[in-house]
Amino acid sequence: MKTICTIISIFLVALLTTATNAQTINWAAVRPDQKHIINANIGWDYAASYGIGYAYKFNTKIPFTMGGQASVPAGENLADDFKTKLGTQARVFRSGDFQTSVTIYGIFRQYQSTLVTLRNFGSEFIGIAGLYRPKWFVAAEFGFDKAITTHVRGRELNKEHYPSFQDGWYVPTGGNFVYGIQTGYSMKSMDVYVKVGKTVDQYFRSTAMVPFYFQFGVNGKF
């Protein structure tokens, strides 16, 4: 049983070590008539990854967006591993050029290997604060990605070596903190941005050989 728990723990760490990447928005450069924001990005998220996203902007007293994102690591079988998110981002404070926003997402993701398939439900909370101008922005971000529950299904090779391996739902207590910076340049109908930062587990111990994340992305606004 100890061996089985060790195997599960290893793969849970592999699943949970996914950098937090909220959609990047220059609030000072989005016009009231631009309600749709589409995104495409590439980067390093414990592996080379590709992502797309969409958000709908509401012009309320506290402006906010609702939408979703999906990302996959680079590789031959793109459907083996993936991450999807649905949620909202809101600008909660503004004083001149200084603005603060928060994001809340629900997450569903999958990690698959020759031994096991993991499907996880989680949540993500991020705070972003910085200077926003119509042509550019620079901000700091800090967030937490929490795994709530994970379904573990052993594959044939795994069960051959560990016959007592039990499929089922597990409730891990793991999570990751992220902190970094983001900056970008804004045009009339497009933003170009870069994000860099570091990911650590909730006990502030590195969980990967390269615990840094990077993302280059483009937003289209219409």
Residue 178: CATH number of its domain:
2.40.128
The more confidently predicted of residues 146 and 10 is: 146
Q: What per-residue confidence (pLDDT) applies to 79?
A: 65
Residue count (the chain): 222
Is 90 exceeded by the pLDDT of residue 10? Answer: no
**Average pLDDT over all residues of the chain:** 86
Confidence of residue 5 (pLDDT cuts 50, 70, 90): low
Confidence of residue 100 (pLDDT cuts 50, 70, 90): very high
Overall number of domains in the chain: 1
Confidence of residue 9 (pLDDT cuts 50, 70, 90): low
Beta bridge partners of 124: 105, 145
The neighbour count for residue 187, using CB atoms within 10 Å, is 12
pTM of the model: 0.86
CA distance 203 to 222: 42
Q: What per-residue confidence (pLDDT) applies to 112?
A: 83
Return left, alpha or beta for 97; rule: phi > 0 is left, psi -120 to 50 is alpha, else beta.
Answer: alpha
SS3 assignment for the chain: CHHHHHHHHHHHHHHHCCCCCCCCCCHHHCCCCCCEEEEEEEEEECCEEEEEEEEEEECCCCCEEEEEEEEEECCCCCCCCEEEEEEEEEEEEEECCEEEEEEEEEEEEEEECCCEEEEEEEEEEEEEEEEECCCEEEEEEEEEEEEEEEEEEECHHHHHHCCCCCCEEECCCCEEEEEEEEEEEECCCEEEEEEEEEEEECCCCCCCCCCEEEEEEEEEEC
CA distance 51 to 18: 13
The more confidently predicted of residues 16 and 131 is: 131
Tell how far CA 12 is from the center of its chain. 16
Q: What per-residue confidence (pLDDT) applies to 183?
A: 98
Report the pLDDT averaged over residues 183-199: 96
Report the pLDDT averaged over residues 36-56: 92
Q: What per-residue confidence (pLDDT) applies to 43?
A: 93
Confidence of residue 64 (pLDDT cuts 50, 70, 90): very high
CA distance 31 to 205: 42
Report the pLDDT averaged over residues 2-16: 51
Q: What per-residue confidence (pLDDT) applies to 150?
A: 87
The more confidently predicted of residues 52 and 116 is: 52
Full domain range(s) for residue 43: 2-221
Q: What per-residue confidence (pLDDT) applies to 17?
A: 47
